[in-house]
Amino acid sequence: MSAAVLRPVSESDAAACADVHAACFDKSWPAADIGALLSHPASLACAAERDGRLVGFVLAWAAGGESEILTLAVDPAVRRGGFGRALMTAAMELARAAGAAEMMLEVDADNTAAVALYAGLGFAQVGRRPGYYAVAGGAARDALVLRRPLLDT
Ligand SMILES: CC(C)(COP(=O)(O)OP(=O)(O)OC[C@H]1O[C@@H](n2cnc3c(N)ncnc32)[C@H](O)[C@@H]1OP(=O)(O)O)[C@@H](O)C(=O)NCCC(=O)NCCS
């Protein structure tokens, strides 16, 4: 088995990103939508690859001194291997290089793994949106709004 690597993402990775996204979220994003996001001039993205296969990616944007995580997904088969933290660290570096002074994101308050990941990376809660995420056949879940300054490290 080869070592994991982080690498840039291009539009040609859209289908592989969509596959990983579909394995991670109830509501999947079509490859065409991911491709359109990747081609946007304000987008930032990074992929994790193992054995030549894309196993995770992060997609963000940076503009006007701010940045926001649009999505972060790691294939369930390779979780707890450090990919999520590495991808987020790369996204913060890309956003900082693009001139962003802070990074924002939204996360399902019940998403224990992601909430712990973001807390460990220094994100702090700055808001809560009750019932933000619709759940088929169940009660809608709250979103936490998290923020992290980027110019302190
Ligand atoms: C959240 C997610 C990206 C984490 O990816 P990962 O590669 O497994 O994360 P890492 O191995 O880098 O873990 C980093 C830290 O996150 C936290 N974490 C990750 N998975 C966790 C879990 N199942 N339970 C509790 N904490 C967890 C831990 O603090 C961990 O640090 P540690 O290993 O030193 O304890 C992954 O679970 C995922 O893709 N989930 C589905 C999609 C999603 O929720 N995306 C985020 C939406 S906002």
Asked if pLDDT for residue 17 goes beyond 60, the answer is yes
Distance CA 72, CA 131 (A): 21
**CATH number of the domain that residue 31 is part of:** 3.40.630.30
Q: For the chain, what is the domain count? A: 1
Q: Which residues contact 147 (CB under 8 A, 6 or more apart)?
A: 102, 103, 104, 123, 124, 126
Cα 73 to middle of ligand 1, angstroms:
9
Indicate whether residue 95 lines ligand 1 (CB < 6 A).
no
User: Ligand 1, closest atom to CA 74?
Assistant: 39
Which residue from 68, 80, 88 has its CB within 8 A of the most atoms of ligand 1, so it is best to mutate? 80
| Segment 60-78 mean pLDDT | 97
- Cα 87 to chain center, whole Å? 8
Return the ligand 1 atom nearest residue 83 CA.
7
Q: What is the pLDDT of residues 107-133, one digit of tens each?
A: 999 999 999 999 999 999 999 999 999
Ordered DSSP codes for 33-70:
HHHHHHHSTTEEEEEEEETTEEEEEEEEEEETTEEEEE
Kind plus residue range of the DSSP H or E element containing 72: strand 66-74
pTM given for the model: 0.97
The mean pLDDT value for 124-152 works out to 93
Domain that holds residue 50: 5-149
On whether the CB atoms of residues 66 and 116 are closer than 8 A, the answer is: no
Q: Is the pLDDT of residue 1 over 70?
A: no
pLDDT at position 65? 95
Cβ 74 under 6 angstroms from ligand 1: yes
CA distance linking residue 31 with residue 11, whole number of Å: 9
Task: Give the pLDDT score at 151.
Answer: 86
Average pLDDT score over the chain? 95
Q: From CA 82, how far away is CA 141, in angstroms rounded? A: 27
Q: Ligand 1: distance of its center to the CA of 84 in Å?
A: 6
